[in-house]
Structure 1
Amino acid sequence: MSFTSLVFLIFAPGILIAYMMIPAAYRRHLVAAGSLLFYAYWEVAYVPLLFASALIDYFASIWIHRSSRPGQKRVWLLLSILINLGILFFFKYWNFFTDNVNHLIGTDLQGINVLLPLGISFYTLQTMSYTFDVYRGKFKPETNFLTYFVYVSFFPQLVAGPIERASTLLTQVRNLDLPSMKDVQRGFVLIAWGFFAKLVIADNIAEFISYSFLQTPGGLILWAISFVFVAQVYFDFYGYTLIARGLASFMGINLSLNFRQPFYAKNMTSFWQRWHISLTKWVTDYIHIPLARRFPQEPMRSFIAIMAMCIVGLWHGASWNFVLFGLVNGLMMRFWSPVARLLSVIPSNDLIREVFGRAMMVMCISFVGILFFIRDFSLLQSQIGTMFTTDLGLAALAAAPAKLDFLLGLIGMTIFFFNDWLVYRKMPVHVEASASVPFLREGILGCCVVAILLFGNFDVEGFIYFEF
């Protein structure tokens, strides 16, 4: 079920109230049951798949820990990796694979006609990280399956992350305590702010952005449209993360930050260290760093870094535009430093360098944004071509729908970006900090609720990252 659905607004308070009322010994049972209900509401047929994913790494980690020989440990780890990636490949990438093979060599491989299991890309990486860390000896495996299953299926972050490590979430699940008053106050603020980001900003600009990319002949205006689209993804995904963190806070659990003011990054590497942090860190820790240590010399070092970003791109979806999205991001990250060093020799003051650097960041974000949105390669090629012409493309937007909604979304975006700037500058007056300040907290909550009720778009179902 979606956080923005009516059924969830009934489900979540019921679970949280019951959590606070029942004895501590039964809280894990409640959270596990609630997580299963949450997932089954979307598609009950995929509940066994969630169980299977949990069981694979639960037993693999135990067998890894019990094995006395390194070779045995590697066998169990390899089996875990192959089974997990095999399931992910079958459901998410099989059709992409068969289409390309059929096109290249003329075979007649058949695709599958099934829904992509919700959250499979998230919980698969979460269970795999657990097994990797047990293999590396970072901690002993969890022997209580119920505890481990709550770690895998914890409903606030089950279907769209953040991708939690056992060292952060599993240790908290072992002792599910009652939340403090500070946790409850923080939970209310995070949830309200998350709904504001999702309903007032992301959902209001969605229709206008889609029309601009798919129904117009493009033009220079697509640079601005693409940047706003990346912002839409940010507010949609960050809104989910804020709501997830708020729900977890009601159970005394702290989920990881998944975003840290990415639009204030000074280069593309910093951008990805601030955007979808849990995914970037997962790929860095389990793919990039191990390979870079093995092949530390150039050009292999750069190739590995670019390949890691291609994997990040492909993780988002089974389409060549996502591979291209990762490739372009990887190239930008590798070439940013030498280009920056070259530009630094140009005589100018610090303000000019700062403005130029920010402008370059905006252009890079805009360019990768269109790669992310448009999956049809012929349309993608056409629209990118118009971005490098002299045609502004403003006339075609006159017929765009939902212009008032778009304007409301832009106003909300300005407010949110200002709050991000306060956080970035470490000011003590941003929204999350207000959770511990009486009257200011209630004022912000009231403003969010009023804005959501008056200006929220309740017609958009789900979150963008549900697709991944």
Structure 2
Amino acid sequence: MLVFSSITFLYYFLPIVVVLYFITPMPNGSPKLRNITLLVASIVFYGWGEPIYLLLMVAEIFILWFFGLKIDKYRGKFKSKLFLILSLVVGLGILGFFKYADFFLYNVNRFTHINIPLLRLALPIGISFYTFQTLSYSIDLYWGKTKVQKNPLDFATYVMLFPQLIAGPIVRYVDVAAKLKTREHTLERFSSGSRRFIVGLAKKVLISNLMGELAQIMYQSQESSMLGAWMYIIAYTLHIYFDFSAYSDMAIGMGRMFGFNFLENFNYPYTAKSITEFWRKWHISLSSWFRDYVYIPLGGNRTSRSRFIFNILFVWFLTGFWHGAGWNFIFWGLYYGMLLLIEKFFLEKLLNKASKWLKHIYVMLIVMVGWVFFDTPNLLMAKNTLAKMFGFGADMIAGEESLYYLRSYLVLFIIAIIGSTPFPKRIAAKFESMKAMVIIEPLYIAALLIISTAFLVDGSFNPFIYFRF
């Protein structure tokens, strides 16, 4: 698989694509030829890691593009709704078959004591993300919120655009439709995008990877201590944030380099003062997708209390299930659905009166407990980890191994915690007006790239968590 944080991508694939993209002409200012360049690059990018499923993706794209033509052609008639339904069936059907078939077969076998062979299909990379993108196009088209895309190559470029293809953010067609027809390329935009990409790379390589290594070490440790359990979940909490936000930074940065404006996907979620606020700041593109295409069509909060409760729990069931075919993900989603309801009906007034630090501690405790369910493969293992964290399943408060790793990673913990807040951005903003920044900033960005490259050459732990979703 070709990942952003790899030497091959950084020093071979991306530079070649950038050169080919900018030497591709724009007759009459139209980016159509450059769209084709990006499409070819995206096909190579996806085919590099998933050659088997490349044809599946291309077929799905052209089927849904064709259905889009019919949705527009029969607008206002029953056939339009029929082709919308067919779009949903095809998109969700392919996603469901590859992602959830074995989950259902396993549970049927378990509860009926029969032995249906599992399919054991490999999950196409990024299928959860590009499926939601194509469905947002079909639904928005049916609702009249966007115009039909008659050029199949431009539609394929939108879906397969390699900066956001594998792990988002989930880019809606309506947000990039205009850019497929005309977009501006300037040195300032390219420079800004490059900086954003390199900062994201550094977050991934210098913080996320190291936090992920520590989380893995402490999770697999034979030492049964409270400190070890807390180090595991704090490290994982920082790992998943810097991992996913780093990917979003790199995707947004590359999008800017090629003239696109992808929406922000994170807004310092670990500074939230309520769970409701947390989910307005975490994976914004996914939360807004479920809000606009599931929650609001179900009636949202403009309905009876019982229906509102159902809407919340159903949406969060789907949110959990979207992340993975496992009961732990379903539980994780319902866990947040219940917490949001509790906040709405019982805790909202208390939270408004509480100090910001108390609210912050409350949110982080809830979030870290949630990450335990998210990361562990089954609920029993999650229960054991939580028991250790709160002193019920631990043999000691701290052991030699956990103390050793605490000393070794303490500075990185501090850097990561500070880096998950807006504090570094505020400090940087104060120095932006200094004349010396014209020299200092490029040196700083170059240093980040060099150090990140050194870590990539030397290291081995380099997965992206959200690739598996």
Pick the aligned partner of 2:398 from 395, 398, 420: 395
Aligned to 1:416: 419
* Residue 186 of structure 2 corresponds to residue 174 of structure 1: no
> Please, what TM-score do these two structures have when normalized by structure 2?
0.90
Identity %: 28
Residue 155 of structure 2 aligns to a residue whose secondary structure is helix
Deviation of 1:415 after TM superposition, in Å, equals 4.8
Aligned to 1:198: 204
Distance 2:227 2:309 in 1: 32
Aligned to 2:459: 458
Distance 1:203 1:166 in 2: 32
Aligned to 2:5: 4
Aligned to 1:120: 127
Distance 2:449 2:249 in 1: 15
Distance 1:294 1:64 in 2: 29
* Residue 20 of structure 2 corresponds to residue 13 of structure 1: no
Deviation of 1:412 after TM superposition, in Å, equals 3.8
Deviation of 1:68 after TM superposition, in Å, equals 4.8
* Residue 203 to residue 426, structure 1, CA distance change in 2 (3 Å): closer
Letter in 1 for 2:212: A
* Residue 266 of structure 2 corresponds to residue 247 of structure 1: no
Aligned to 2:29: none
> Please, what TM-score do these two structures have when normalized by structure 1?
0.90
* Residue 370 of structure 2 corresponds to residue 364 of structure 1: no
Q: Tell me, which stretches of 5 or more residues in structure 1 are unaligned?
A: none
RMSD: 2.7
Deviation of 1:439 after TM superposition, in Å, equals 2.4
* Residue 446 of structure 2 corresponds to residue 446 of structure 1: yes
Distance 1:214 1:181 in 2: 48
Letter in 2 for 1:67: Y
Pick the aligned partner of 1:236 from 230, 233, 243: 243
* Residue 387 to residue 228, structure 1, CA distance change in 2 (3 Å): same
Residue 359 of structure 2 aligns to a residue whose secondary structure is helix
* Residue 147 of structure 2 corresponds to residue 140 of structure 1: yes
Distance 2:130 2:331 in 1: 25
Distance 1:337 1:132 in 2: 29
* Residue 55 of structure 2 corresponds to residue 54 of structure 1: no
CA contact (8 A) 2:373 2:379 kept: no
Deviation of 1:105 after TM superposition, in Å, equals 1.5
* Residue 329 of structure 2 corresponds to residue 329 of structure 1: no
CA contact (8 A) 2:212 2:235 kept: no
CA contact (8 A) 1:208 1:400 kept: no
Deviation of 1:404 after TM superposition, in Å, equals 7.5
CA contact (8 A) 1:202 1:236 kept: yes
Distance 1:430 1:228 in 2: 31
Distance 2:256 2:64 in 1: 27
CA contact (8 A) 1:311 1:326 kept: yes
* Residue 340 to residue 295, structure 1, CA distance change in 2 (3 Å): closer
Aligned to 1:186: 192
Deviation of 1:311 after TM superposition, in Å, equals 1.0
Deviation of 1:364 after TM superposition, in Å, equals 0.6
Distance 1:155 1:180 in 2: 21
* Residue 388 to residue 461, structure 1, CA distance change in 2 (3 Å): closer
Residue 428 of structure 1 aligns to a residue whose secondary structure is helix
* Residue 278 of structure 2 corresponds to residue 271 of structure 1: yes
Q: Which has the higher contact order (CA 8 A, sep 6+)?
A: 1
Deviation of 1:331 after TM superposition, in Å, equals 1.1
Distance 2:431 2:234 in 1: 24
Residue 299 of structure 2 aligns to a residue whose secondary structure is helix
Letter in 2 for 1:395: A
Q: Which deviates further from its counterpart, 140-149 or 297-306?
A: 297-306
Give CA deviations for 1:96-137 in whole Å, capped at 9, x if unaligned.
110011111223222112221010000000000000000001
Residue 297 of structure 2 aligns to a residue whose secondary structure is helix
Deviation of 1:172 after TM superposition, in Å, equals 1.0
Deviation of 1:361 after TM superposition, in Å, equals 0.8
* Residue 203 to residue 287, structure 1, CA distance change in 2 (3 Å): same
Aligned to 1:215: 221
* Residue 210 to residue 74, structure 1, CA distance change in 2 (3 Å): same
Deviation of 1:2 after TM superposition, in Å, equals 0.7
Deviation of 1:446 after TM superposition, in Å, equals 3.3
Letter in 2 for 1:56: I
* Residue 396 to residue 113, structure 1, CA distance change in 2 (3 Å): farther
Letter in 2 for 1:413: A
Residue 449 of structure 1 aligns to a residue whose secondary structure is helix
Aligned to 1:383: 385
Deviation of 1:442 after TM superposition, in Å, equals 1.2
* Residue 146 to residue 378, structure 1, CA distance change in 2 (3 Å): same
Distance 1:142 1:211 in 2: 49
Letter in 2 for 1:87: I
Give CA deviations for 1:265-307 in whole Å, capped at 9, x if unaligned.
1111111111111111101100011112597111220221122
Deviation of 1:171 after TM superposition, in Å, equals 2.1
Deviation of 1:394 after TM superposition, in Å, equals 4.7
Pick the aligned partner of 1:302 from 289, 293, 309: 309
* Residue 265 of structure 2 corresponds to residue 258 of structure 1: yes
Residue 290 of structure 1 aligns to a residue whose secondary structure is coil
Distance 1:359 1:214 in 2: 27
* Residue 101 of structure 2 corresponds to residue 101 of structure 1: no
Q: Tell me, which stretches of 5 or more residues in structure 2 are unaligned?
A: 27-31
CA contact (8 A) 2:227 2:402 kept: no
Residue 23 of structure 1 aligns to a residue whose secondary structure is coil
Give CA deviations for 1:289-339 in whole Å, capped at 9, x if unaligned.
111259711122022112211211111111100001111111111112444
Distance 1:260 1:324 in 2: 25
CA contact (8 A) 1:408 1:455 kept: no
Letter in 1 for 2:448: C
CA contact (8 A) 2:274 2:351 kept: no
Number of aligned positions between the proteins: 458
CA contact (8 A) 1:32 1:153 kept: yes
* Residue 23 to residue 38, structure 1, CA distance change in 2 (3 Å): same
Deviation of 1:400 after TM superposition, in Å, equals 8.9
* Residue 363 to residue 140, structure 1, CA distance change in 2 (3 Å): same
Residue 86 of structure 1 aligns to a residue whose secondary structure is helix
Deviation of 1:341 after TM superposition, in Å, equals 4.3
Deviation of 1:382 after TM superposition, in Å, equals 1.6
